[in-house]
């Protein structure tokens, strides 16, 4: 694969530095990214689920298909040696939705459906507490969304609370979601919010951390603030702990920005941000978005500046 390198410098620079943008792979309707504990990178899209591999000889990236299901995949997370994701059948009417699991110890394993979650509007962002609990963002742009709480044991589901958090908890259109120190950070339309999980494991009222007239997709807590993918603005944004936009890429610099993570070896370095660009919704062919990209800086993002 021939990589395109574009040097990008804007008046408002992400993390206060010039960077090099690089296309890593073409992927129609690219969605979420997830690094496992040992640095493997899994990617979801509107039509499949993949692992990104790097050829040791020519250093080109390739996408390995992990699922045989015709499904639109979204959030990804890990508990112990099991990877979890969600998907919705590509149907206009009566589409089934599923929670799926992947055994990370078996290199050639495929995703297995472990729960039917069809009562949800749009299963989207997914995160875990590191032990046995998953939190799933049910996005509903035309109604009221919610956060589901799911307890699991590897490939078995013990319980599902689909309406664990809802409008009564200041949760309306949750999208990207991350578990951090017994709290949840999530995007909600143009807002980014955080919610403390009570000692009895119930939801509490979510506090608004930041708000702007846009739609935020996935988020990554970073240096006591948040890295966010602004889908409408096509921007990668860093919001400081004070709730202020400190740095951002230029408008439409990441077309339909969907997900972003700080790079992790062996595939990437921590001098890089890895991002997905979905582009135009339901457009799988054009050069607008439909890719995985990196932004490479001249300093280590693993060290807070």
pLDDT higher than threshold 50 for residue 2 = no
Residue 201 lies in a domain: yes
CB 229 within 8 A of CB 259: yes
Residue 240 lies in a domain: no
| Count of domains forming the chain | 1
- For 264, other C-beta atoms within 10 Å of its C-beta total 19
Q: Mean of the pLDDT values across residues 34-49?
A: 96
Residue 246 lies in a domain: no
Residue 32: which pLDDT band, with cuts at 50, 70 and 90? Answer: very high
Please return the burial class of 166, using the count of CB atoms within 10 Å of its CB with bins 0-12, 13-18 and 19+: middle
The per-residue pLDDT for range 166-206, each reduced to its tens digit, is: 999 999 999 999 999 999 999 999 999 999 999 999 999 99
The per-residue pLDDT for range 216-249, each reduced to its tens digit, is: 999 999 999 999 999 999 999 999 999 999 888 8
What is the rounded distance in angstroms from the CA atom of residue 257 to the CA atom of residue 252? 8
**CATH number of domain containing 131:** 2.120.10.30
Pairing of β 257-262 and β 225-230: unpaired
Max CA pair span of the chain? 54
Residue 203 lies in a domain: yes
The per-residue pLDDT for range 45-60, each reduced to its tens digit, is: 998 999 999 988 888 9
Q: What is the pLDDT of residue 279?
A: 87
pLDDT higher than threshold 90 for residue 152 = yes
The per-residue pLDDT for range 99-120, each reduced to its tens digit, is: 999 999 987 889 999 999 999 9
Residue 22 lies in a domain: no
Q: What is the pLDDT of residue 18?
A: 79
Residue 279 structure tokens? 């582009």
What is the rounded distance in angstroms from the CA atom of residue 154 to the CA atom of residue 168? 31
Residue 11: which pLDDT band, with cuts at 50, 70 and 90? Answer: very low
Q: What is the pLDDT of residue 287?
A: 85
pLDDT higher than threshold 90 for residue 149 = yes
Q: What is the pLDDT of residue 156?
A: 92
Q: What is the pLDDT of residue 123?
A: 96
- For 94, other C-beta atoms within 10 Å of its C-beta total 7
| Residue 290 CA, distance from chain mean position | 15
Q: Which domain holds residue 163?
A: 67-211
pLDDT higher than threshold 80 for residue 141 = no
Residue 7: which pLDDT band, with cuts at 50, 70 and 90? Answer: very low
pLDDT higher than threshold 90 for residue 158 = yes
């Amino acid at each position: 694969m021939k990589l395109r390198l574009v040097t990008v410098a804007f008046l408002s620079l992400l993390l206060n530095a010039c960077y090099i943008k690089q296309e890593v792979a073409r992927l129609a309707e690219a969605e979420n990214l997830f690094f496992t504990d040992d640095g493997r990178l899994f990617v979801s899209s509107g039509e499949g689920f993949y692992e990104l591999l790097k050829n040791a000889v020519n250093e080109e990236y390739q996408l390995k298909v992990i699922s045989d299901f015709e499904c639109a995949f979204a959030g990804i997370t890990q508990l112990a040696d099991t990877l979890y994701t969600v998907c919705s059948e590509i149907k206009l009417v009566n589409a089934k939705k599923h929670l799926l699991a992947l055994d990370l110890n078996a290199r050639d394993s495929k995703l297995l459906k472990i729960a039917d979650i069809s009562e949800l509007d749009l299963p989207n962002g997914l995160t875990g507490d590191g032990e046995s609990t998953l939190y799933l963002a049910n996005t509903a742009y035309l109604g009221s969304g919610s956060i589901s709480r799911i307890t699991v044991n590897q490939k078995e589901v013990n319980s599902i609370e689909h309406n664990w958090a809802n409008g009564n908890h200041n949760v309306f259109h949750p999208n990207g979601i991350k578990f951090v120190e017994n709290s949840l950070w999530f995007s909600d339309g143009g807002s980014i919010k955080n919610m403390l999980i009570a000692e009895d494991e119930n939801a509490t009222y979510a506090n608004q951390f930041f708000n702007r007239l846009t739609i935020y997709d996935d988020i990554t807590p970073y240096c006591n603030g948040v890295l966010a993918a602004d889908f409408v603005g096509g921007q990668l944004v860093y919001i400081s702990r004070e709730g202020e936009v400190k740095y951002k890429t230029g408008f439409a610099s990441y077309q339909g920005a969907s997900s972003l993570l700080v790079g992790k070896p062996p595939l990437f370095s921590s001098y890089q941000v890895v991002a997905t660009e979905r582009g135009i919704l339901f457009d799988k062919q054009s050069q607008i978005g439909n890719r995985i990209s990196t932004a490479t800086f001249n300093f280590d993002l693993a060290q807070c500046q």
